[in-house]
Structure 1
Amino acid sequence: MLTLKQLETFVQVVELGTFERASQRLNATQSTVSKRISELEQASGLRLFDRSRRNARLTEEGERMLELAYATLDGAKRILELNEQPERVLHRVRIGFTDLAALTWLPGFLRDYTIERPDIRLDITIDMSRTLYQQFQDGELDLVVIPQVPEAFAQPGVETRLLEEVEMAFMAREGLVDGPRPIPIGALERYTLISQGKRSGFAQDINRWLSHQGMAAANLTADNLLALVGLVAAGRGISVLPKLCVQRFAREQGLEILKTIPRLPTIGYYALYHGGVRIRLLEELAHRLVNAADFTRPFFFSEKSSARS
């Protein structure tokens, strides 16, 4: 059986040039050194030294073995150092968010969490929820924060944690929608409906709900949330948007929140993560996300602006 002692002896013989010098360095007898080299050759099936010469001269097979021996001994050293220097261990977690989190509480969370947990490196992906969920299923992401995905709750090995229920509302440029308030949902059908595309989980949920109310799907799409707000502010149509988040700067953008009958449902945002050997790390991270999540306040929105609204 091949051992680290054999590899260490082999390296010492090569570096010092003779079996005698290697035995002195290793504080072992020369016969012990010879025995370890013979056992290494027997275990590997390779002839490592040209014994026709006085000095320990490597064969071609020995040259190849030397490179692997260095790598193996270095790897073994790193393994032993794990327990001696645990502070050097850096845990990498691949985590995905939609742009609503990125526009609200995520920047503050990353700032604080990076300071508090320097041992954890968060690799961040910002994308549409359906894309993130597919990457999560494919094992490319360890944790995602996305609107509820019904099939995820029945998937073995997937843990879920509710972060927040986000209130949704129809919005339009002031003066675009006439008539009494609250507005029957059916009365909005004559306006252009702007929505995020098929890769958006919350857009799919809203479109499904609107379909049950007899309302047609969106005929204008923009995947970026800020672009969506911009199109509504430009008077291109109406859209379903996160109410409290957009409400903070709706007046400055000339937007109106449309009260409807019936009211739109809330959208639950969840942290999804895989179980397994890293379950405690991911559970702790999910708990921190629950405490940090606030989808109501844009990170770029000042307290002064909040007071005016």
Structure 2
Amino acid sequence: MLTLKQLETFIQVVELGTFERAAQRLNATQSTVSKRISELEEATGLQLFDRSRRNARLTEEGERMLELAHATLSNAHRILELNHYPERTLHRVRIGFTELTALTWLPNFLRDYTTERPEIRLDITIDMSRTLYQQFQDGELDLVVIPMVSEAFAQPGVESRLVEEVEMALMACEGLVGGPRPLPISALDNYTLIGQGKRSGFAQSVNRWLSHQGMGAATLTADNLLALVGLVTAGRGISVLPKRCVQRLTRNDALEAIDTTPPLPSIGYYALYHDSARIKLFDELARRLGNAADFTRPFFV
């Protein structure tokens, strides 16, 4: 059986060059050191030292073994320290965000939070909201920040916290849409509607609302928010976009928000997480996310 004592002895023999010096360092007899090395070779089936040499010279197998031995002992020491330094326990949280979050407040949040809480490792996934929600349901993500998903609120064992309401608006390039303001939604039905695809929960909510107002579905789709903004700026159609964020993305009033009757509703972004043994950690993290959320300011502008 392989033991930590054998690995420690192996490393000392390599570092000090002889079994005799290793025995002195370990406060053991030379025969004890030799026995541990023999047991290690028997347990692994490897010949670690070239016995034809006077000094302890590693074989190729021994060279490969040395790196793994160092890593194994290092991890073993960390395990033994957990009881003495419980505050150093590393918590891994798998968390998913949409593109809008990544384009606005997420970079600053990660910088600040990881500095303040180095014991928490955030594994980040950026994707469309429906994909993130499916990964959350499948247990691949611990927490997601996505637009409201109605079925999530009826699912037992799922906690939710409102992060922020995002003001939405129908937007077009300057001068594309004429007429007095506000315009009835029905007056915009002749324009090409540009939207995100089916993997976007945000797009599904918008499309349902527009459909209730008698407006047709999007005929031009792009899953990338910046691509949507580019298409609208180029005059290819109108789109429902996060108003203040997009206005700061464009220059010289290239886009205008079209006031409508009825006005577009805001979209609520929620932190969703499971009621589990780590509920306190997730509660605290969701609260911090809510404090940091600002969907109005593009990070790179």
- Aligned in 2, Cα 1:215/1:199: closer, same or farther, shift over 3 Å? same
- Aligned in 2, Cα 1:115/1:214: closer, same or farther, shift over 3 Å? same
Instruction: Read off the aligned partner of 1:198 and give its amino acid letter.
Output: K
Task: State the SS of the aligned residue for 1:152.
Answer: helix
How many Å apart are 1:284 and its aligned residue? 1.2
1:68-107 matches, cutoff 5 A: 82=79, 83=81, 84-86=84-86, 88-107=88-107
- Aligned in 2, Cα 1:184/1:225: closer, same or farther, shift over 3 Å? same
Query: 2:114 touches 2:120 (CA, 8 Å); kept in 1?
Result: yes
Question: For the residues of structure 1 that align with 2:74 and 2:107, how far apart are their CA atoms?
Answer: 39
Aligned to 1:253: 254
Question: For the residues of structure 2 that align with 1:127 and 1:280, how far apart are their CA atoms?
Answer: 26
Aligned to 2:278: 278
Aligned to 1:216: 216
> What is the total number of aligned residue pairs between the two structures?
295
Query: 2:152 touches 2:158 (CA, 8 Å); kept in 1?
Result: yes
- Aligned in 2, Cα 1:213/1:80: closer, same or farther, shift over 3 Å? same
Aligned to 1:287: 287
Query: 1:98 touches 1:127 (CA, 8 Å); kept in 2?
Result: yes
Task: State the SS of the aligned residue for 2:244.
Answer: helix
How many Å apart are 1:245 and its aligned residue? 1.2
Instruction: Read off the aligned partner of 1:207 and give its amino acid letter.
Output: N
Query: 1:133 touches 1:144 (CA, 8 Å); kept in 2?
Result: yes
Instruction: Read off the aligned partner of 1:253 and give its amino acid letter.
Output: A
Task: Work out whether 1:161 is the aligned partner of 2:186.
Answer: no
1:114-193 matches, cutoff 5 A: 114-193=114-193
Aligned to 1:46: none
Instruction: Read off the aligned partner of 2:299 and give its amino acid letter.
Output: F
How many Å apart are 1:163 and its aligned residue? 0.5
1:256-271 matches, cutoff 5 A: 256-261=257-262, 263-271=263-271
Question: For the residues of structure 2 that align with 1:251 and 1:205, how far apart are their CA atoms?
Answer: 30
How many Å apart are 1:250 and its aligned residue? 6.0
- Aligned in 2, Cα 1:170/1:77: closer, same or farther, shift over 3 Å? closer
Identity, in percent, stands at 74
Task: State the SS of the aligned residue for 2:189.
Answer: helix
Query: TM (normalized to structure 2)?
Result: 0.74
Task: State the SS of the aligned residue for 1:112.
Answer: helix
- Aligned in 2, Cα 1:173/1:85: closer, same or farther, shift over 3 Å? same
1:243-275, CA deviations, whole angstroms, 9 ceiling, x for partnerless residues?
Answer: 1211223644344444443x0111100000112
How many Å apart are 1:157 and its aligned residue? 1.4
Query: 1:250 touches 1:256 (CA, 8 Å); kept in 2?
Result: no
Instruction: Read off the aligned partner of 1:229 and give its amino acid letter.
Output: V
Q: CA RMSD in A?
A: 4.5
Question: For the residues of structure 2 that align with 1:250 and 1:170, how far apart are their CA atoms?
Answer: 18
> Which structure: larger Rg?
1
Aligned to 1:15: none
- Aligned in 2, Cα 1:256/1:284: closer, same or farther, shift over 3 Å? closer
Instruction: Read off the aligned partner of 1:215 and give its amino acid letter.
Output: M
Query: 2:171 touches 2:255 (CA, 8 Å); kept in 1?
Result: no
Q: Is there any run of 5+ residues in structure 1 with no aligned partner, and where?
A: 5-70, 302-309
Question: For the residues of structure 2 that align with 1:246 and 1:259, how far apart are their CA atoms?
Answer: 18
- Aligned in 2, Cα 1:180/1:252: closer, same or farther, shift over 3 Å? closer
- Aligned in 2, Cα 1:153/1:78: closer, same or farther, shift over 3 Å? same
Question: For the residues of structure 1 that align with 2:170 and 2:257, how far apart are their CA atoms?
Answer: 9
- Aligned in 2, Cα 1:89/1:247: closer, same or farther, shift over 3 Å? same
Query: TM (normalized to structure 1)?
Result: 0.72
How many Å apart are 1:85 and its aligned residue? 3.6
How many Å apart are 1:211 and its aligned residue? 0.8
- Aligned in 2, Cα 1:77/1:124: closer, same or farther, shift over 3 Å? closer
How many Å apart are 1:118 and its aligned residue? 1.1
Task: State the SS of the aligned residue for 2:141.
Answer: coil
